[in-house]
Structure 1
Amino acid sequence: MPDTRKEEGPPGADSAWDNISRPQEDTSEPLLATSKRSGKASWAVTIATLLSLQLGWGLWLMPSDYARLGWVPATVVLGALTLSTIYSGHLLLRLYNAVPNAVLFGDIGEAAAGSRGRNLVYFVVYSLDATRCIILHLAATQSLQHASDRPDCLLCGLAVGAVAILLGQVRTLSELGWFLTLGTAAQLFALVVVVAKLFMSPLQGAGTELVHTGDTAAAIVAIMNMIFAYGGQFAYVEIMNSMRQPGRFTSAVSASTPVMSVAYLALGAIGYWSQGRSVQEIIIFGTGFDVWSRVAAGAILFQALAQYLVNLNVWTHNVLTVLARSKAKRSASSCNVCHAGDHKRLPWLVASVCIVGYSFGISVSLPFFSTLVGLVTSVTYLTCAYTIPCWFTLRLLGERVSRAEYWLLWALIPLSLAFSVVGLGSSVWALINNLGGGAL
């Protein structure tokens, strides 16, 4: 089988680029197994990882997103995000193949635009990693509050932090495959429970609209929430690097994304039909405190923790890799860190504890879930998923893309930047309103 990681380098690269090769991928092992020799993930485990990373709390915001936009705009946005997510995964795989030995997304940035590209990636992706951990800590905390019927945010936040630190010491994502799969299954179970309750107890006189023409800022925040629901591109390079067959990453994204879209469409449409414009922001918390509602909240606690662990793993790995490279540079030695499993246990423990610590502190101080999601998405998600990959593709592969794709890439760059600015303004305005009115 040809080496899937070896591709021609960027235009203008010297001939040494073509002499760099990767070991051939082993395709003889079962797809459902993790390679025991390398500790790398199979195709099926990669799908479970992608679903755990992306099929999360954006799902429970979907009915309120429909209420803020209306039937037609919300469904169109979902369709566009399905296609664009698959395309962005394809772009990042091509970039990964074009930069042999890339360990972090920043390595691709350096190959494309030198230190400027590397620093841009670090700023955007690390800001996203840092803030996403806060959001997921808050998600897990609120799930635990609802499941246990305990209003104590501080106590529930501490419990979530303790579990995250304990499970976060598993450094190889493939070894967490069982928990990621459990989280996805729990999410789907909760989805069935909530849908059943929405069908059985629709709100009398619930009103819906084809196109909602209300608050423009709220509508933009809703779109940002939907983008967040598909977000995960910040971790794609690390996930590819953890795969036994990186060349199959695009097919993994193509398999996982439609599953997410069906779940988003189903809950968004059913929740909006059942509750109308008065639907609660996080739909699962608007189904009451009966046994089934609390069981569903307990189920999504597993999913929130699964997402949290993936983000904690990626963020810890990134921080320690940068520190290891800096130390190696000062001592004029080589840095042999390629995967999360290469880090020593004590530095991993210290870094992960620090990340969980600040995530806990900020999440209990600013518990405005939807607004925080919109703010983070506008600042980092669009840039990470579209602006940066499109720019790097033009720099590294510009002469090898079709004319139609060339103009598509150039169009996506200003479009994503413009929408980021608009989303940021709307999210800041919503945050000011939250602080003034105390809405969660």
Structure 2
Amino acid sequence: MPVTTLIRRVLNRSNTLADSDDVARAQLDGASASPMPAAAAAFGSADQDAGMATTARFVSSFPNNSGIYEEPLTSGGGDFADALSMDSGSGKMPVVEDEEKDAVEDLAMLEGQVAEQEQIAQDHGQPPRNAGFMRSFSSVVCIIIGTGCLQIPYAFAKTGWIGVIIVVISAFIGGYTGVLTIRCLYYQEGRRLHSFPQIGRAAFGRYGQYATQFFNYLYSLGTTCLYIILAGQFIYQLVSTLGVMVSKKVWMILVALIIWIPVAILKQMSEAAIMAIFGLLASIIVIAVATTMSIAQPYTKMHPTEPAPGTDVAIAIGIPVALSSIVFSYSGSVVYPHVEASMKKPKQWPNVVYTAMGFCAAAYLLIGVSGYWAYGTAVVSPVLDSIPAGAPATIAKIMITLHVIIAAPIMLLTFFLEVELQWRINAERLGKRREFTVRLVYRSVVVALVCAVSLAIPYFADFLSLISSIACVTMYAILPVVCYLKLYGHKIAPWYEKIWMGVVLVIGIVASIWGSVDAIKSLIRDTKAGAPA
């Protein structure tokens, strides 16, 4: 029978029994309630009249309580466990009449149907909600902190010490727009969107979806290209010192093959949790090594006969360009919907994203301030090329290479999950064997294309600036604010928040336009100068 009919049947029985079972309640002396009244109370709190008693309603802190996520209760816990629990005083089940036994059987049937519905949802590509705070935090930080930290000192060389303020402001913007992104997923009561493209469609129709998909996919695939370029560059530098003369492009192809392995195996974002934790630890090691070596071996110690490169308080002309690079260091918006979808307690999302941004800001200030102080205007991107060669630099390059290889599949998974959801590539429609084959083939083709683009544009700094200016800034600062205002209306926010939204939009637009122009000029100049070794 339908689930809603089953619920009403259980509720009607429990209410009738509650009115006629005074003797049974007297025997229990109020020590424990009859299981069916307890179940009725639990169901009643979840919208009994609307037939929504099988869902646990998560009401976030969204404006007007309009963001509601409805999730089936899992068997063996929550209200079901309370309703069917044993009497704590006697250690025995309460006396149950025949009709109550029927109702308990109905509840057991209901639990089975809920479990079946959850399995169907997973077959459709919706991950189970089993990620705790630390796992979600690790996934966000692993994507955010990555290679972006390596160019923070270079960004300071473009802006001067005012870059410290930009790093802090960018962290606040990243946390705020991260919260707005998830609010947009819940704009419609009783329904959750799954991805950024769906937010774009809900806000601006079909063309909004296409535009959002363009920036979303450009960010996901472009960042993966950056990872392949950087990993190939570091491996080339490491093995060259050992006398292994293999082209950098060969190492980039090898990196792409290594990335392909988890891409072919992993199906859901939750399966990459362990990888995210290892990636986070690798990033912490890299930041610690770079910071320590910058302080211990500054430019004056490495080149005692040369004058120390200077530092500036502020360089106005370099702020827009450096801003786009700093923004890239906080970008992770495309991953947020998938991370939040796997959270056990989605109401904790604001805490997760703000904690992640605070952690990244502290790390960036460490590596940025120490690197700029040590090498001034002579610092290069990535900063590991500025510190002296030796065991610490080698360890840092190995760690960042491992991080890149770990983070790239997570970044690609966001792209793959959205494509598979849109094209219904799931076991229910195709069958398990055919679904695996289709998924493996098209994912392999995508990795091959990403590798080909990486081989064609092996200029890390220029490519980083271009991707961050076009895609990252748009996804990070512009689209979340614009879509939020379109979905909720401008009246939803107080005047001071509207001012903050305006500041975020201005920063995003300036950084995107100015940064894109500068990155294209640098890319053209370096291409004409010839391919690197």
Shared fold per TM-score greater than 0.5:
yes
Aligned pairs for 1:206-221 within 5 A: 206-213=308-315, 216=317, 219-221=319-321
Which of 378, 381, 402 in structure 1 is aligned with 2:472?
381
Partner of 2:259: 164
Confirm or deny: 8 A CA contact 2:469 2:513 kept in the other structure.
Answer: yes
Distance 1:223 1:439, change over 3 A: farther
Distance 1:283 1:247, change over 3 A: same
Name the aligned partner's letter for residue 378 of structure 2: S
User: Hey, what's the Cα distance between the residues in 2 that align with 1:165 and 1:40?
Assistant: 26
Confirm or deny: 8 A CA contact 1:5 1:98 kept in the other structure.
Answer: no
Distance 1:229 1:52, change over 3 A: same
Q: CA deviation at 1:58?
A: 1.0
Partner of 1:63: 153
Confirm or deny: 8 A CA contact 1:391 1:409 kept in the other structure.
Answer: no
User: Hey, what's the Cα distance between the residues in 2 that align with 1:249 and 1:291?
Assistant: 39
For residues 307-361 of structure 1, the C-alpha deviation after alignment (integer angstroms, 9 at most, x for no partner) is 2111111111122222228x9xxxxxx989xxxx999322222222122212211
User: Hey, what's the Cα distance between the residues in 1 that align with 2:401 and 2:67?
Assistant: 47
Partner of 1:74: 163
Q: CA deviation at 1:219?
A: 4.8
Name the aligned partner's letter for residue 403 of structure 1: W
Confirm or deny: 8 A CA contact 2:67 2:183 kept in the other structure.
Answer: no
Partner of 2:33: none
User: Hey, what's the Cα distance between the residues in 2 that align with 1:240 and 1:250?
Assistant: 10
User: Hey, what's the Cα distance between the residues in 1 that align with 2:273 and 2:393?
Assistant: 27
Confirm or deny: 8 A CA contact 2:297 2:387 kept in the other structure.
Answer: no
Partner of 1:426: 518
Q: CA deviation at 1:212?
A: 4.9
Q: CA deviation at 1:25?
A: 8.7
Work out which of the two has the higher radius of gyration on C-alpha atoms and give 1 or 2: 2
Partner of 2:495: 403
Partner of 2:327: 227
Name the aligned partner's letter for residue 440 of structure 2: L
Which of 284, 299, 305 in structure 2 is aligned with 1:203?
299
Which of 154, 158, 167 in structure 1 is aligned with 2:249?
154
Q: CA deviation at 1:389?
A: 1.3
For residues 136-195 of structure 1, the C-alpha deviation after alignment (integer angstroms, 9 at most, x for no partner) is 111222232233335521221122112111111212222222221111111211222222
- SS of match in other structure, 1:4: strand
Aligned pairs for 1:303-322 within 5 A: 303-322=403-422
- In terms of mean alpha carbon deviation, does 166-175 or 73-82 score higher? 166-175
Which of 460, 463, 466 in structure 2 is aligned with 1:372?
463
Confirm or deny: 8 A CA contact 1:133 1:311 kept in the other structure.
Answer: yes
- SS of match in other structure, 2:380: coil
- In terms of mean alpha carbon deviation, does 256-265 or 187-196 score higher? 187-196
Partner of 2:382: 282
Which of 475, 485, 499 in structure 2 is aligned with 1:394?
485
Distance 1:343 1:43, change over 3 A: farther
Alignment of 1:92 onto 2:194: no
When normalised by structure 2's length, the TM-score is 0.71
Partner of 1:54: 144
Confirm or deny: 8 A CA contact 1:4 1:97 kept in the other structure.
Answer: no
User: Hey, what's the Cα distance between the residues in 2 that align with 1:418 and 1:193?
Assistant: 34
Which of 319, 323, 346 in structure 2 is aligned with 1:246?
346
- In terms of mean alpha carbon deviation, does 354-363 or 55-64 score higher? 354-363
Greater relative CO, 1 or 2 (CA 8 Å, sep 6+): 1
User: Hey, what's the Cα distance between the residues in 2 that align with 1:274 and 1:119?
Assistant: 45
- SS of match in other structure, 1:244: coil
User: Hey, what's the Cα distance between the residues in 1 that align with 2:314 and 2:503?
Assistant: 28
For residues 7-49 of structure 1, the C-alpha deviation after alignment (integer angstroms, 9 at most, x for no partner) is 9999xxxxxx9999443699x89xxxxxx99364222111110
Gap regions ≥5 residues in structure 2:
1-45, 47-55, 79-121, 301-306
For residues 367-403 of structure 1, the C-alpha deviation after alignment (integer angstroms, 9 at most, x for no partner) is 1111111111111122212221112211222232223
User: Hey, what's the Cα distance between the residues in 2 that align with 1:342 and 1:90?
Assistant: 38
Confirm or deny: 8 A CA contact 2:59 2:68 kept in the other structure.
Answer: no
Confirm or deny: 8 A CA contact 1:56 1:304 kept in the other structure.
Answer: yes
For residues 81-103 of structure 1, the C-alpha deviation after alignment (integer angstroms, 9 at most, x for no partner) is 01111111111121122242312
When the two chains are superposed, the root-mean-square deviation of aligned CA atoms in Å is 3.3
Partner of 1:331: none
